[in-house]
Structure 1
Amino acid sequence: MSGGWGHGPAAAKPPPLRPHWRCLHFGNKRALLSEELRDVPEDSIGGTGGQESCGWKFSSPQCWPLSSTGLFPGTRRPTAPEDESIRPFKVETSDEEIKDLHRRIDGTRLTPPLEDSRFHYGFNSNYLKKILSYWRNEFDWRKQVEMLNRYPHFKTRIEGLDIHFVHVKPPQLPPGRTPKPLLMVHGWPGSFYEFYKIIPLLTDPANHGLSEEHVFEVICPSIPGYAFSEAASKKGLNSVATARIFYKLMLRLGFREFYIQGGDWGALICTHMAQMVPSHVKGLHLNMAFILNGRILTLFLVRHCPRLFGFTQRDMELMLPFKEKIFYKPLRESGYMHIQSTKPDTVGCALNDSPAGLAAYILEKFSTWTDSEFQELEDGGLERFPRLCSHSGPLLLKTKNVETKMPDERVHHSGEASFLPNPSKFSLDDLLTNVMLYWTTGTITSSQRFYKENRGQLFKQDRVKVSVPTGLAAFPCELMHIPERWVKGKYPRLVSYSYMPRGGHFAALEEPELLARDIRKFVGLLELP
């Protein structure tokens, strides 16, 4: 193989490309897609034959680049067509794999925690002993492998890489109905497994107490370098390239129009897809939004007049105190990002060799990013119900500045908190299954490289508005609250903005029913007769 992102013999450096740019802009904000969209059909890139479509139009080459890597960095184009077959895949394990894991756990060396440090210094090693004991003596990886294979897995080759994905079709459909294709993209340190609890709520709603008005066909790919998707052997595979790859995946599966959903890296990848091919994306649903440029400075002016800046009382509750939630908390929680954006391979060597280190590194994020208050607990809150973040009144869905109750939500009230009964939370099996997807595939290093490949890109891409109808589920314990006013600045066709009653960063795994209901509500707004 001589092209793409995969391994192959080095080729002679091709002659410099002439500046053949294909550019798009929304208003005065432009995006150079040039090499990023090479081989994507021209009629799918925001218009047909250079004509305006969905708010985008082709423009001149005086644009800022989303990326300068190109499709086949350092190599020539392949001379033969790429194998486009879709192959069934099955998760497997072996006695040797499990024995090696147990041997490494048995040899773990831990440093005692400081007195009363809880999770303030990172993962508490006393609690890690409990995790390791359960992992070594009670966790049944073979059983979890069977559970993972409950849904159909596949692989297909795109741009020189084997791309893994889970593809779940509805077991039954109402007469005359067709399923709605929905691409769901995970982030770090998650995996496709994050969506296992929400998939049945979307593909088989009737058997889970939901209406059959919206039934989905769900596709959950693994980002290249995560789990069972092959990692690139060349530099430059960032979120824009991944968006292009996933768009090609959807075309290969026969979907010309589809919905997309994501949080964390998935939110950024899905946003890029909406920027690249708006005529193919029917709707974009997010549970995290990347809004960076210039907004934070307004916070110093809004404390005494929030409504003047478009902030609601709920926004203020989620953002106060400003110094803690907007400055100190992001600074305190972003150390991992600095490491992974600069020297990912260094820490990757340690994590890929130690299951204890890998578990501590990943699970600390599942603690803090689920609820920052869990740092006060000896177990990091990993086996407890997340606190009910204060929310007065019923769950609200804001649609075009009109607040309405979400239908068929079983909202209960207790004091100032609103909550749904029987919430789904993490179990040690959930947490360790996700860790095992990194351990058994040896992909922690390649997953961390995604940060370095995207370094410097976020601020550039933040300037490009999204013309696709968008919905945002704002979970109260997310790393940083993004007010509706800010979201509309980048996503001007924001049709729904929901203040969720509880939940944090890993919404699909932690609160699958809440997220499923918000997705269904969003799609319902777009498909009103």
Structure 2
Amino acid sequence: MQRLQLLKDTFFGLDVVQQQLLIGSAVAAGGILAYAVHRRSRAKTIPFGEGWWGSGEKPQSEDDKIYPFTVQTSDKEIEDLHERIDRTRYSEPLEDSGFQYGFNSTYLKKVVSYWRNEFDWKKQVAVLNKYPHFKTKIEGLDVHFIHIRPPSNGNQRVLPLMLVHGWPGSFYEFYRILPLLTQNHDSVAFEVIIPSLPGYGFSEAPHKKGFNSLAAARIFLKLMERLGFSHFYLQGGDWGSLVTTNMAQMKPDCVKGLHINMCMSPRGFKVLLSLIIGPYLPFLVGFSREDVRRLFPFFEKNVYEILRETGYFHIQATKPDTVGCGVNDSPVGLAAYILEKFSTWTDKKNKDLMDGGLERKFSLDDLLTNVMIYWTTGSIVSSMRFYKENLSTNIEKRIDSKTGIFVPTGVAAFPQELMHCPKSWAQIRYQNLYSYTLMSRGGHFAAFEEPQLLANDIIQFVKKVEKL
């Protein structure tokens, strides 16, 4: 605060001409940087490419039919789960440690007791089957997706919208937002497609190395084409934001609009300059007061927090199969590994609570249903591999990192997201930013936590694109 006051006093102590020169120099420097960024981002598309991720050699032809799919379970599957839960060996937590060391085992016992004695997986399977599921073979993989059409109404426009999840989520994250999107909104409703990322849940895992976000984007574009959509909207968070961004880069003519609730901050001199000037003269670098509040002090609110929260990231980006052996074999270990993220990524302050604040935003039924999707499909290891495949090389040197995004884009910036990305940063990469909303509450799992807020922002963005 003293440095801020000193800088303000210095600035306002200058005469008018000196102030104008200083502001003019900053604006000119910003203009030069913006032009340089524009020059580097002239490429408007990235290659579509081709791939084969099935087992063995690629056949001469592939079945392109779409088949209905039903989530199923059995008494044997549930008995095996209960037997494994009953053999769990717990460790004692440190006193007054909350979730600061990870999932607190005292609260974990309560969650597991509910899982073992009250949670009804058969009932939740019926909930999952509330919406129509399908599978289709693309590039050698059985790709699972949900396809929901709005109630018939001859007076409304129906717009196709694909929602893409991330880790450690699943298609189930969107169940609370689905009714909100398929309703009639001023004569507009959405026909929603929700695929499972290959290697997640009911989508088959790749059998070959190298399956990254570009491959997932291509597969989902092929899925939309197979469903008969030539123009559509996209929405995603976490890995979903990168996959949908890649889709917009590959086929911008097909993507009417892209909406994301996790926007990765770019690097470069402009960002560095804004970090230096932003706390003191935010208006010079396009920061709002809320940007300043969320970003600074930068190291305490961002760098150190990211370091504390990304241990899993380094493991999964290097040796996912090693830790995967443990969590794939132990349901309790899997629950602790996944649900800890639903605690801290929802609100950073939850790590100070003995129960991790998990039941403030979610029910145990919802949380355990997401865990069961990973458990019953044995997909935790293949889902973790997605980190290694995307980070086996420097992601900033990939072609998609060097290519701008030119489709209409909307960003919903939730206050508890892992890292805040101001509008001025988002505009460096997303060069046709139609809307940018500083959301009032919520964290990383936006559709799961705050479905109404996210739905409202998606709807207002689409209406703006459609000029309604």
TM-score under structure 1 length normalisation: 0.78
Specify which structure has the bigger relative contact order, considering alpha-carbon pairs within 8 angstroms and separated by 6 or more residues.
2
Assess if the C-alpha contact under 8 Å between 1:181 and 1:218 holds in 2: yes
Query: Superposition RMSD on alpha carbons, in Å?
Result: 1.9
1:357-436 counterparts in 2 under 5 A? 357-384=333-360, 425-436=361-372
| Distance apart, 1:84 and its partner CA | 0.6
Q: Determine whether 1:499 maps to 2:435.
A: no
**CA-to-aligned-CA distance 1:179-219 (integer Å, 9 cap, x gap):** 100000000000000000101111124xxxxx343200000
| Distance apart, 1:317 and its partner CA | 1.0
Assess if the C-alpha contact under 8 Å between 2:40 and 2:402 holds in 1: no
Q: Determine whether 1:306 maps to 2:282.
A: yes
SS at match of 2:194: strand
1:203-242 counterparts in 2 under 5 A? 203-205=182-184, 211-242=185-216
- Superposition misfits of 4+ residues, deviation over 4 angstroms: 30-34, 73-77
Q: Determine the structure 2 residue equivalent to 1:288.
A: 262
| Distance apart, 1:324 and its partner CA | 1.0
Q: Determine the structure 1 residue equivalent to 2:41.
A: 29
Q: Determine the structure 1 residue equivalent to 2:222.
A: 248
Mapped to 2, the partners of 1:32 and 1:444 lie a distance apart of 35
Q: Determine whether 1:338 maps to 2:275.
A: no
Mapped to 2, the partners of 1:190 and 1:239 lie a distance apart of 16
Choose the corresponding residue for 1:453, options 386, 389, 405: 389
Mapped to 2, the partners of 1:467 and 1:458 lie a distance apart of 20
Q: Determine whether 1:108 maps to 2:44.
A: no
Report which of the two has the higher share of helix.
2
Q: Determine the structure 2 residue equivalent to 1:443.
A: 379
SS at match of 1:454: helix
Choose the corresponding residue for 1:120, options 100, 104, 107: 100
Mapped to 2, the partners of 1:352 and 1:238 lie a distance apart of 22
Amino acid aligned to 1:184: L
**CA-to-aligned-CA distance 1:132-173 (integer Å, 9 cap, x gap):** 000000000000000000000000000000000000001232
Q: Determine the structure 2 residue equivalent to 1:190.
A: 169
**CA-to-aligned-CA distance 1:358-410 (integer Å, 9 cap, x gap):** 000000000000000001100000012xxxxxxxxxxxxxxxxxxxxxxxxxx
Alpha carbons of structure 1 residues 447 and 75: separation in structure 2 relative to 1, 3 Å? closer
SS at match of 1:37: coil
Amino acid aligned to 1:300: I
Mapped to 1, the partners of 2:157 and 2:436 lie a distance apart of 27
Mapped to 1, the partners of 2:318 and 2:364 lie a distance apart of 31
Give 5+ residue unaligned stretches, structure 2: 1-36
Assess if the C-alpha contact under 8 Å between 2:53 and 2:140 holds in 1: no
Assess if the C-alpha contact under 8 Å between 2:414 and 2:441 holds in 1: yes
| Distance apart, 1:33 and its partner CA | 8.0
Give 5+ residue unaligned stretches, structure 1: 1-24, 40-70, 206-210, 385-424
Assess if the C-alpha contact under 8 Å between 2:211 and 2:386 holds in 1: yes
SS at match of 2:188: coil
Mapped to 2, the partners of 1:442 and 1:360 lie a distance apart of 16
1:154-165 counterparts in 2 under 5 A? 154-165=134-145
Residue identity over aligned pairs, in percent, reads 60
Mapped to 1, the partners of 2:86 and 2:453 lie a distance apart of 40
Mapped to 2, the partners of 1:87 and 1:479 lie a distance apart of 38
**Count of residue correspondences:** 427
Alpha carbons of structure 1 residues 33 and 522: separation in structure 2 relative to 1, 3 Å? closer
Q: Determine whether 1:81 maps to 2:61.
A: yes
| Distance apart, 1:291 and its partner CA | 2.5
Please say which of residues 457-466 and 499-508 is displaced more in the overlay.
457-466
TM-score under structure 2 length normalisation: 0.88
Q: Determine the structure 2 residue equivalent to 1:60.
A: none
Please say which of residues 282-291 and 461-470 is displaced more in the overlay.
461-470
